Amino acid sequence: MEKNTIILAAGQGTRMKSKLYKVLHQVCGKAMVDHVLTQVEKTDMDHVVTIIGHGAEKVRELLGNRTEYAVQTEQLGTGHAVLQAEKILGDKDGMTMIVSGDTPLFTAKTFENLFEYHRQKGAAATILTARTANPFSYGRIVRNEIGVVSKIVEQKDATNEEAEINEINTGVYCFDNKKLFAALHQVKNDNAQGEYYLPDVIGIMKDAGEIVAAYEMDDFSESMGVNDRLALSKATKVMQRRINDEHMVNGVTIIDPDSTYIDYGIEIGSDTIIEPGVQLQGNTKIGSDCVIGAHSKIVDSTIEDRVTVTSSHLEKAIMHHDSNVGPHSHLRPKSEIGEFVHIGNYCEVKNATLGARTKMGHLSYVGDATLGTDINIGCGVVFVNYDGVNKHHSTVGDYSFIGSNANIVAPVKLADHSYVAAGSTITDDVEQYEMGIARGRQVNKEGFFKKLPVYEAALKAEKENRE
């Protein structure tokens, strides 16, 4: 039997008060509609149709050919939106699930259970329901004395007795496909909004004597829809905990899950420790036995095994195994840090490669450069790569030594086993075994200290210390 899904993603989402189309708002690094489609894809669908309207091209750009599309040019309600898929699905046999693109927390397992329950019951329609201690604002599922669904009652229409019901409509349905589209043509828009509502199909099917079932899922939190920023933050919290729990089950130590933010889809190896306040975003992959220190932020980066990141920021960088960085350093895009490399505190690397075992202790900048292995970079070294118009590249050979407070002015090449004296500004190549030195010769002025204002202060302090 064919399985289809229709994802409703045509609403503007005015309550978000945003220039960004509602279903494109992200939950843990992934657009809400992408979360929905990702879970749907795990259920082996024959057809997936996404109903688009506002922001249609942006949704197409994001989802690509993972789904078919139907356009709702006028916003005339959820029933009208589903009807736009008739040209694609109208003649199909089988089952069709309908889910909203702003419900990012549903799982593939719940979708699979809904389809299976629908099939077993031989129903024309199956409503996905859940129970909550606070059902206010949700449609209530009214059942008869033997548990069969009688109707769905909206909050504003519920009697006092019906308002006490805690089983609610999640807004997800599974239908017999052909019966769905037949019923949709009978839906009227004689309501205050003048819209065609999908839940009206349930009443039409009941009146026709069709079987209407309801599958109650276990976790109410999955059903959370996002219509404003408050709901977006709540959904993000639920998703974040789900992601963190999965990593911990898989052998990652997360010291404080409530303050740790990991995007959906990030890979982390076992025995890695994540300290509080860490953010792992985008297309990031972290190996085993790593330590990601407190308040580090890693974006679109690859971290191999046994790497330590201490309170630092990485973006589009690679750290090879057994390297370390920080505290308070910044690896910018196209930084590649070799095996056993040490980058200390307050350093910055950009578009540069540091070979194995090279050490960059503190307060230095390496940009647009290729550095070999076993190099020592002293404190305060700056690779001067920008002439005001263009960036230029520098190369440093293996086993070289760059003294503190040196400026390496690109383009320049330092050969293997070259040496740069502290405080030098290097503008020319340095050959193997040479020392480059570019600074004024030291001159000592005899007695000059006594001519300086500090002399009187020193005498005063010396006298006070003797008393």
422-433 pLDDT, tens digit per residue, is 999 999 999 999
Q: Rounded distance, CA 57 to CA 122, Å?
A: 38
Least confident range from 30-34, 68-72, 134-138, 168-172: namely 134-138
User: What's the pLDDT at 135?
Assistant: 87
Active site residue 392: no
Confidence bin at 143 (pLDDT 50/70/90): confident
φ, ψ at 425 (rounded to 5°): -110, 110
Burial class (CB in 10 A: 0-12, 13-18, 19+), 463: exposed
Confidence bin at 67 (pLDDT 50/70/90): very high
Q: Rounded distance, CA 102 to CA 82, Å?
A: 15
Feature table: binding site = 8-11, 22, 72, 77-78, 100-102, 139, 154, 169, 227, 332, 350, 365, 376, 385-386, 404, 422, 439
> With contact defined as beta carbons under 8 Å apart, do 16 and 229 qualify?
yes
Feature table: binding site for UDP-N-acetyl-alpha-D-glucosamine = 8-11, 22, 72, 77-78, 100-102, 139, 154, 169, 227, 332, 350, 365, 376
Domains in the chain: ranges and CATH = 3-222 (3.90.550.10), 251-436 (2.160.10.10)
User: What's the pLDDT at 192?
Assistant: 75
User: What's the pLDDT at 111?
Assistant: 97
Feature table: binding site for acetyl-CoA = 385-386, 404, 422, 439
Assess whether pLDDT exceeds 90 at residue 294: yes
From 295, 321, 362, 393, active-site residue: 362
Average pLDDT of the residues in 272-299: 98
Please report, rounded to a whole number, the percentage of residues in the chain having pLDDT higher than 90: 84
pLDDT per residue as tens digits for the range 245-281: 999 999 999 999 999 999 999 999 999 999 999 999 9
pLDDT per residue as tens digits for the range 174-219: 999 999 999 999 999 887 778 898 999 999 999 999 999 999 999 9
Query: Which are the contacts of 262, defined by CB distance < 8 A and separation ≥ 6?
Result: 28, 240, 243, 244, 247, 268, 274, 278, 279, 280
Q: What is the pTM of this model?
A: 0.91
Mean pLDDT for the chain overall:
95
Q: Rounded distance, CA 123 to CA 284, Å?
A: 44
198 vs 54, which has greater pLDDT?
A: 198
Q: Rounded distance, CA 300 to CA 279, Å?
A: 11
Name residue, tokens 């079932």.
213
User: What's the pLDDT at 124?
Assistant: 96
Assess whether pLDDT exceeds 90 at residue 144: no
User: What's the pLDDT at 193?
Assistant: 79
